[in-house]
Amino acid sequence: MTRTVAIVAALDTKGDEAQVIKNVIESRGVRTLLIDVGVLGAPAMPAEVGRAEVASAGGGDLDDLVSTEDKGRAMAVMTSGAAVVASRLHADGRFDGIIGLGGTAGTAIASSAMRALPVGVPKLIVSTVASGHTRPYVGSKDIAMMYSVVDIAGINRLSGAILANAAGAIAGMVTVDRPEFVERPMLAASMFGNTTTCVDAAREIFDNAGYEVLVFHATGAGGQTMESLISDGFFQRVFDVTTTEWADQLCGGVVDAGPHRLEAAAATNTPQVIAPGCLDMVNFGAPETVPERYSGRKFYNWNPNVTLMRTTPEDNAELGRIIAEKANASRGPVAILLPLKGVSQLDSVGGEFWWPEADTALFDAIRRHAKPHIEVIDVDANINDSVFVAKATSVLMEMLGSRTAA
């Protein structure tokens, strides 16, 4: 079967670059489909999907965008339109992978199109901003970004080589043979370094019970990705025992997942077990990056680039309220398990973050704010202890019946 790659580019300013990408992809026996997202200048070549169609999909009119010369509005319209067009074309089977290129504007438009596509569809952007802060572009999707090294402004010995490499890469992505897997029900789990022992042991139990377990590192983007896939209906169960991203959201740490973390399972009525894993810590970078307002707090240098700050009883009381209220929104099966001997590896008896009063504030707030239909279960163990793992996994497996997935 011949594969097709969509090329998202402003063909007025990036026509030469798009032509290089098109030529290389087609030389690999892969078809191309050009999506023109330019506005003001004349396109350097015809496109299968013209700019007027993209503008209309974004709620605008191309002639109006050209006449007003409002670059901000043009960007907003074409960014929205690219997402709508890409989603529709892919749903219609028009392409198998997608590539884009540009500076901040081109990257914003191309990445919008890519974020509208399912995980697993090959996605690649050649960008001037790929060596910087890429989270606004990548979001929770599997977008590969290649740094352009030089500005994407004409073809030279560097840009030509980089664009050719990118074209070859996307052509390879759409033609590669993918491994085959036995279809099994899928289960999402959240993990951090301080809950690894817990989740590794639980994963083995779930695997033996017939589930395919996908583990998400609770680094902000990891939590967002898990939430997105839960919303998309990927998972039949959720083992959300590492809710640490809420500590960073509350205290300004670097691994926050935003205010909607812990909402997807409730919104989709997906059975879930929740635990306050690693809510004893807030993540910062190197020690000098910690805000001055926290100068009197307890810290632990996890590594040279990660400084952990212990949450206080006041922090934990608020975190407990948040966790309970997020769980309260679910009409499906949900349970919150409280590990009474610590919520992380560091928060164990004698550990660097062992602070029973802080944990008590967290647990009491969860109990106080959880509605009667939410099952709150005390477990007299640390979150990484086998006793806790056994209880948490059994509770999740018993939801919607005692049968296994196999």
Q: Say what angle helices 313-328 and 356-369 make with each other, to 10 degrees.
A: 30
Q: Are 106 and 131 within 8 A, CB to CB?
A: no
* pLDDT for 309: 98
Mean pLDDT of 166-191: 92
Q: Which of 175, 209, 225 is the last residue of a domain?
A: 175
Rounded to the nearest 5°, which phi and psi values hold at 373?
-80, -5
* pLDDT for 178: 84
d(C-alpha 78, C-alpha 80), whole Å: 5
**How do residues 179-230 score in pLDDT, each as one tens digit?**
877 789 999 999 999 999 999 999 999 999 999 999 999 999 899 999 999 9
**How do residues 32-73 score in pLDDT, each as one tens digit?**
999 999 998 889 999 999 999 999 999 999 999 999 988 899
DSSP-derived pairing of the beta strands 123-127 and 97-102: parallel
> Which is more confident, 139 or 124?
124
Tell whether 147 and 228 lie within a shared domain.
no
- Judged on CB neighbours under 10 Å (0-12, 13-18, 19+), 68 is exposed
Query: What band does 98 get if pLDDT is binned at 50, 70 and 90?
Result: very high
Tell whether 221 and 296 lie within a shared domain.
yes
Tell whether 385 and 244 lie within a shared domain.
yes
**Of all helices (H) and strands (E), which one includes residue 301?**
strand 299-303
* pLDDT for 406: 35
* pLDDT for 401: 57
Q: Which of 175, 200, 221 is the last residue of a domain?
A: 175
Q: How far apart are the first and last CA of the chain?
A: 34
> Which is more confident, 140 or 218?
218
Q: Which of 150, 175, 200 is the last residue of a domain?
A: 175
Q: How big is the chain, counted in residues?
A: 406
Tell whether 33 and 85 lie within a shared domain.
yes
Tell whether 136 and 263 lie within a shared domain.
no
Tell whether 347 and 246 lie within a shared domain.
yes
Domain that holds residue 369: 186-398
Tell whether 249 and 368 lie within a shared domain.
yes
* pLDDT for 367: 98
Mean pLDDT of 367-374: 96
d(C-alpha 261, C-alpha 252), whole Å: 15
Which sign, positive or negative, has the C-alpha torsion 381, 383, 387, 393?
Answer: positive
pLDDT-above-70 percentage for the chain: 98
Residue 122 confidence (pLDDT) above 50: yes
pLDDT-above-90 percentage for the chain: 87
Residue 402 confidence (pLDDT) above 70: no
In a domain, 210, yes or no: yes
Mean model confidence pLDDT for the chain: 94
* pLDDT for 153: 81
* pLDDT for 332: 87
Mean pLDDT of 284-313: 95
Record the pTM: 0.77
Query: What band does 400 get if pLDDT is binned at 50, 70 and 90?
Result: low
In a domain, 404, yes or no: no
Nearest partner of 258 among 90, 119, 139, 99, judged by Cα:
139
Number of domains in the chain: 2
Tell whether 170 and 205 lie within a shared domain.
no
Which sign, positive or negative, has the C-alpha torsion 197, 200, 201, 202?
Answer: positive
Buried b / exposed e along 159-179 (16+ C-beta atoms within 10 A): beebbbebbebbbebbbeeee
Tell whether 25 and 100 lie within a shared domain.
yes
> Which is more confident, 135 or 314?
314
Tell whether 232 and 108 lie within a shared domain.
no
Question: CATH number, domain at 245?
Answer: 3.40.50.12030
